[in-house]
Structure 1
Amino acid sequence: MPVIVCATNESKGQVLAPRVRVASSLWARSKGLLGTASLPPEEGLWLKPCRSIHTFFMRFPIDVLFLDGQGRVLSKATVAPWKMSGWKRQAAGALELTAGTLERTHTEIGDRITFSRMED
């Protein structure tokens, strides 16, 4: 059973996605969003550890945040299908979200992102 968390931009007081799947095993990180037709606005994927991502074999763009160990945004981007992000040496993980989420929530470099576990 995957772990589901809520991702919140504490700096802006905005929920980025209430249902974020945590991918911490090698298999879960390798699979990522491959095989999904789309990413609904309320969902996301938290890859940890992770210092770069790709969108090979994907049919939709995604917003990506690279975070340090304290949840600070180091880098942000909208990544089109069949692209790779750069290597983020300081990153502890990457948060993949529906394209447009970062603009809608005004998320910026330096903002603090937190993850809270969802109760069953």
Structure 2
Amino acid sequence: MQKRRYCVYNQTRESFLSLGVAVADTTMTRLKGLIGKLSLGLDEGLWIVPSRGVHTIGVLFPIDLIYLDDALKVIHVVESFPTFRVSPLITHATSVLELPTHTIYSSQTQPGDQLLICLGEEMESQLKMATTNLGLSS
């Protein structure tokens, strides 16, 4: 059975951060994280739920970190977090996105931004609902 992949969209900046994020939501998947991968593709990532911080011990490449609260609002970002380190512990975070380096820069994501994370097939309807709620639809 193939793992489900999620899309990550920054509603504030109107940009996609990733189209292929896997979820690490069990003790084993959170513990393993990105260990064993040789690289992270441009549209790959890992959403660690729950999490207030991560480590890159055993990870062979730097990553961007985006800390989220329970409403998927960005509360902290770390660009190009190095290998073999323990990240800051952000007490208000409920999850952390691990993404390829330069994702934060290229999407201009910053604290306060609102993200939308859902399965690819749900993204279109979620975006339509969001624009309708903002009064942007015709």
Same fold (TM over 0.5): yes
How far is the alpha carbon of 1:58 from its aligned partner?
1.4
State the partner residue of 1:71.
72
Runs of 4+ in 1 over 4 A off after TM superposition: none
Aligned-residue Cα RMSD (Å) equals: 0.9
Structure 1 gaps of 5+ residues are: none
How far is the alpha carbon of 1:2 from its aligned partner?
2.1
One-letter amino acid matched to 2:96: A
2: CA distance between counterparts of 1:118 and 1:32? 22
State the partner residue of 2:112.
110
State the partner residue of 1:45.
46
How far is the alpha carbon of 1:84 from its aligned partner?
1.1
2: CA distance between counterparts of 1:29 and 1:2? 14
Q: TM-score, normalised by structure 1?
A: 0.95
2: CA distance between counterparts of 1:10 and 1:39? 24
One-letter amino acid matched to 1:37: L
One-letter amino acid matched to 2:16: V
The structure richer in helix per residue is: 2
Q: Which has the higher contact order (CA 8 A, sep 6+)?
A: 1
State the partner residue of 1:54.
55
Q: TM-score, normalised by structure 2?
A: 0.83
The structure richer in strand per residue is: 1
Structure number with greater Rg is 2
2: CA distance between counterparts of 1:3 and 1:84? 27
Describe the superposition over 1:52-96 as per-residue Cα deviations: whole angstroms up to 9, x where unpaired: 101111121000000000011111002101111111111110000
State the partner residue of 1:91.
93
Task: Count matched residues.
Answer: 119
Identity over aligned residues, as a percent?
32
State the partner residue of 1:2.
3
